[in-house]
């Protein structure tokens, strides 16, 4: 196999400890020049990468400094040792973490992945900028629906808004509605029906639509009924309003949403779960979905892939549970969700389908390599006796630990002791966990 071409990296080092600086110099000098060519500089201007070596360094302070210098450098925490805590670094706002005692080969591989990630991010931003220049204000696409023939036309700018070329999205209603946020589809259809059947001349509705990268954009879709020699049709626009919508949501909902996935935060999820427990004693189940070896995925393929996995799972939960569903990110690599109803086999089916969908999903690293991930799930029925939301979540956590320890991909726990010996899915069923 041919070695990858060398990649030049301009680095700004944030360090005030001479001893640490010498150790860092040793690492950088030992890097194989055939793969990474380090161009170190003492000013942040035009830096590709910032190596933060001071314990007191704040990721945001560094970003502010490089931003003032006109750079969009990624910020990497450098720490002593050879097994740095990636989760802690990400929680502190850093893009990656590297240990000063890790071998140069490891540094070379990670720096290359970081550089590729940054290059990809820049290319995406450039494409977005080109689109913004080309389409009035940058976020408007047109559509036309011929009510006589049923033909829908989506213009190239409409498709570019969600990350596709003109040839990659068909001009049909399925291509449109399948990408609309699940909890928003009925509102959009009702608005269209109001024009088609209800006598309204125009409509306007705000909703989410899924981008190619699986995240959701907020858009404002507007349409007006037209009738002339060309027939009866609805002509409309789709305008991206993500920035203003998220700004409003952050003001109203700042403490309730996970920053990456948009799902409920742990505290907000527990609050909703507590409210659900206080309702009449209808049965439901609490599920946990934990991404297996997410830290390994981040280390091997870069944080971007790990983030993409988490965003995708958040979207999967929204698709499955719909508007009004209770779900949230309860830790760095785990999501919790509520399955309504009283059918235990249905709980098993829903969880198994979610896990199967994740197993069949393929993500792509910046190198082009295919990345597949797995997840462990545990589903715990609501017990008959009183229990707090935090205790129920801990019980589900213990079930998840047991599923992982026994190498079962899915563990189901009933609230009573009298269990069926086998359900139709032949999934492992366990009695309620003690404590």
Q: Per the structure block, which two tokens stand in for 352?
A: 């198994």
Its pTM surpasses 0.75: no
Q: Are 72 and 120 in contact (CB under 8 A)?
A: no
* The pLDDT value given to residue 41: 65
For the chain, 435 residues long, give each residue's pLDDT as a single digit of tens: 344 566 777 888 888 788 888 888 888 888 877 767 777 765 666 678 888 888 766 788 887 777 776 677 888 888 888 777 777 777 777 878 888 888 887 787 778 777 766 665 565 455 444 433 433 334 688 999 998 888 899 998 899 989 888 889 999 989 999 999 877 888 899 999 988 887 788 899 999 898 887 777 889 999 999 887 778 899 999 998 877 776 665 555 555 777 777 788 888 899 999 988 887 777 899 999 998 888 888 888 878 788 888 888 888 887 788 767 899 999 888 999 999 887 777 888 888 888 888 888 887 776 667 888 888 898 988 887 888 999 999 999 988 888 888 777 788 887 653 323 233 233 444 444 444
Place of tokens 């829903």: 350
Phi and psi (nearest 5°) for 260?
-80, -50
Q: Are 201 and 226 in contact (CB under 8 A)?
A: no
Q: Per the structure block, which two tokens stand in for 279?
A: 């309702």
Decide yes or no: CATH 3.40.50.2000 for domain 136-243. Answer: no
Q: Hey, where are the domains in the chain?
A: 7-132, 136-243, 255-430
| Rg of the chain over all Cα atoms, to the nearest angstrom | 25
Helix (H) or strand (E) holding 41: strand 36-41
Distance in angstroms (rounded) separating the CA atoms of residues 237 and 142: 4
| Torsion, Cα of 50, 333, 106, 63 (10° steps) | 0
Distance in angstroms (rounded) separating the CA atoms of residues 339 and 317: 11
* The pLDDT value given to residue 18: 82
Entry field: residues in the chain: 435
* The pLDDT value given to residue 121: 57
Decide yes or no: CATH 3.30.450.20 for domain 7-132. Answer: no
Q: Are 228 and 146 in contact (CB under 8 A)?
A: no
* The pLDDT value given to residue 336: 94
Superfamily of structural domain 255-430: Reverse transcriptase/Diguanylate cyclase domain (3.30.70.270)
């Amino acid at each position: 196999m041919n070695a990858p071409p060398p990649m030049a990296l301009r680095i700004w080092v944030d360090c005030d400890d001479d001893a640490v600086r010498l150790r860092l110099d040793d690492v950088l000098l030992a890097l194989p020049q055939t793969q990474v060519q380090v161009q170190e500089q003492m000013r942040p201007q035009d830096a590709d990468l910032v190596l933060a070596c001071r314990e007191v360094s704040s990721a945001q302070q560094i970003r502010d400094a490089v931003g003032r210098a006109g750079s969009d450098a990624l910020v990497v925490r450098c720490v002593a040792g050879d097994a740095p805590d990636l989760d802690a670094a990400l929680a502190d706002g850093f893009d990656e973490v590297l240990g000063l005692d890790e071998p140069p080969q490891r540094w070379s591989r990670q720096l290359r992945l970081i550089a590729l990630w940054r290059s990809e991010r820049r290319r995406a931003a450039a494409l977005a900028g080109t689109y913004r220049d080309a389409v009035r204000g940058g976020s408007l696409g047109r559509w036309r629906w011929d009510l006589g023939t049923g033909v829908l036309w989506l213009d190239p700018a409409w498709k570019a808004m969600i990350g596709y070329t003109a040839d990659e999205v068909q001009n049909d209603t399925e291509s449109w509605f399948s990408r609309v946020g699940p909890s928003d589809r009925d509102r959009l259809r009702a608005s269209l029906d109001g024009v088609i059947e209800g006598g309204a001349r125009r409509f306007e509705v705000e909703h989410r639509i899924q981008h190619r990268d699986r995240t959701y954009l907020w858009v404002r879709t507007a349409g007006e009924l037209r009738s002339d020699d060309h027939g009866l049709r609805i002509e409309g626009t789709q305008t991206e309003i993500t920035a203003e919508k998220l700004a409003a949501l952050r003001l109203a909902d700042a403490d309730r949403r996970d920053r990456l996935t948009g799902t409920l935060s742990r505290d907000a999820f527990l609050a909703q779960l507590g409210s659900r427990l206080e309702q009449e004693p209808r049965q439901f189940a609490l599920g946990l979905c934990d991404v297996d070896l997410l830290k390994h995925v981040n280390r091997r393929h870069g944080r971007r892939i790990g983030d993409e996995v988490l965003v995708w799972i958040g979207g999967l939960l929204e698709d499955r549970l719909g508007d009004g569903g209770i779900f949230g990110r309860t830790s760095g690599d785990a999501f919790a969700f509520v399955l309504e109803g009283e059918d235990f086999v249905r709980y098993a089916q829903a969880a198994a389908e979610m896990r199967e969908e994740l197993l069949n999903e393929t993500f792509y690293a910046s190198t082009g390599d295919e990345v597949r991930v797995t997840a462990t799930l545990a589903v715990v029925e609501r017990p008959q006796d009183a229990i707090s939301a935090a205790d129920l979540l801990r019980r589900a956590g213990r079930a998840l630990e047991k599923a992982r320890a026994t190498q079962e991909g899915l563990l189901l726990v009933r609230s009573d002791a009298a269990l069926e010996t086998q359900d139709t899915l032949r999934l492992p069923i366990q009695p309620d966990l003690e404590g």
